[in-house]
Amino acid sequence: MDGKDAFAALPVGRTVTVRKTIGESDVYLFAGITGDLSPNHVDEEYMRRTMYGRRIAHGALLVGLMSQASTRIITDLPGTIVSYGYDRIRFPAPCFIGDTVTVTYEIASREEAARKTFARVTCTTQRGDVVAAATHILKVVE
């Protein structure tokens, strides 16, 4: 199998899901790695005075979970497949520490000539709240 076969193995409708409970350590390790020590993520007292009432996870941490899903959808495929980027990333609801997030990654369309796929990616909590959504582009480069 080669890159042509890899593109064929990514049809519209192909879907993967990943799930993770966002823990305190996830938020603090992510804050340390990125340097994003916003009180939104690390200051419980500050956040109690906001409309959220408690700390929220970094949106970029949720994008990392989206990336995990994109890796899962290409695992075991031949050729070189790369992330071409994310479009229209949104965080319509807060993700709290302790939430269990399910990422659904579904190939929604394909661009044959460019060998790109466009996936609808959503992160949903156990309450049914969509906490992140984006379009992700994969490109088969060889």
142 residues of the chain, pLDDT tens digit each:
455 688 999 999 999 999 999 999 999 999 999 999 999 999 999 999 999 999 999 999 999 999 999 999 999 998 899 999 999 999 999 999 999 999 999 999 999 999 999 999 999 999 999 999 999 999 999 8
Q: What pLDDT was estimated at residue 5?
A: 86
Instruction: Break the chain into its structural domains and give their ranges.
Output: 3-140
Q: Give pairs for 54-58: CB < 8 Å, separation 24+.
A: 54/96, 54/97, 55/27, 55/96, 55/97, 56/94, 56/95, 56/96, 56/97, 57/22, 57/26, 57/27, 57/30, 57/95, 57/96, 57/97, 57/99, 58/27, 58/30, 58/31, 58/34
Please state whether the predicted TM-score (pTM) of the whole model is above 0.75.
Answer: yes
31 within 8 A of 61, measured Cβ to Cβ: no
Does the domain at 3-140 match CATH 3.10.129.10? Answer given as yes
The answer to whether the CB of 123 falls within 8 A of the CB of 38 is no
For residue 2, the model assigns a pLDDT of 55
